[in-house]
Every structure is written in structure tokens, then in C-alpha cells.
Amino acid sequence: MMNIEPAKKTDTCQTFCYDEEVVERVQPQIDKVNGVELVFKALSDATRLKVAYALSLEEELCVCDVANILNTTTATASHHLRYLRNMGLVKYDKRGKLVFYSLPDNHIRSLIQLAAEHNMETVI
């Protein structure tokens, strides 16, 4: 009896070739994403992503609001908000004894909401 193995599928090219025009068009622009990995690194923590998502749903939230939304302490909420602030992903406004956080612009809001929409569409 013969044992015939099916052809193996690979996810790499079997031969090396490239489209020179495409490479020349894209390669000079690739550095535009330098530093963007820091945004994704900051949002790769599930708690920080939830904080940012909560802020994308409201104009601003007090640290106490964030702590309650996450069912955590104000110290933990403050820690994550401070990290996001240091990364330039949120801004804050101190009013007396309260500190309110918000997103600095719609770019982060759009990024987070698009990622959430994508996640909802791909969940089976």
C-alpha cells in the first residue's frame, strides 16, 4: 500500500520576487508609523483599554467614575489613568478635589471604537 501525503500548504512564497513599483511607493512612507507601537502597547493592557473605551463613550469621567466602572479602587484607576496620560492618550482637568479625564482628540476615540466594532464582527 502506498502512503501518499497531501501537498503541504505554506503561508510563505515558494519563490522570492517583489513588485518594485509597490516597494518604491510604500517604503519611503513606512517610517510614518514610528512610535505608534507605543499607543498599542499602552492599550494592550486590558484594564487600560477598558478605561480608554469608557472615555470614548463619555466626554469626561472622574477618577471615581472610572474606579466604579471597572469595579476597582481609585488607586488602581488612577494608576492606569496616569499611565495613559503619560503616553499622551488622555488628558486631565483638576477641579478642586476631583480629577476628570478625557480623550485629547477624536483619533484615539475612533481607534478604540473601530477596534471594538471589529472585535464584535469577528467574534463567533
Please report, for the chain, the start and end positions of each structural domain, with discontinuous segments joined by +.
Answer: 38-122
Measured CA to CA, the distance from residue 35 to residue 32 in angstroms comes to: 9
**Joined grid coordinates for residue 33:** 508609523
Question: What is the pTM for the complete model shown?
Answer: 0.81
pLDDT value at residue 27: 95
pLDDT value at residue 123: 67
Average pLDDT over residues 92-99: 96
CATH of 38-122, one of 3.40.50.1370, 1.10.1370.30, 1.10.10.10, 3.30.450.20: 1.10.10.10
pLDDT at 44 over 90: yes
**Joined grid coordinates for residue 73:** 479602587
Q: What is the DSSP letter of 23?
A: H
Measured CA to CA, the distance from residue 71 to residue 69 in angstroms comes to: 6
Residue 123 backbone phi and psi in degrees, to 5: -75, 130
pLDDT value at residue 9: 73
pLDDT at 8 over 70: no
98 in Cβ contact with 62 (< 8 Å): yes
pLDDT, tens digit (0-9, with 9 covering 90-100), for 100-114:
999 999 999 999 999
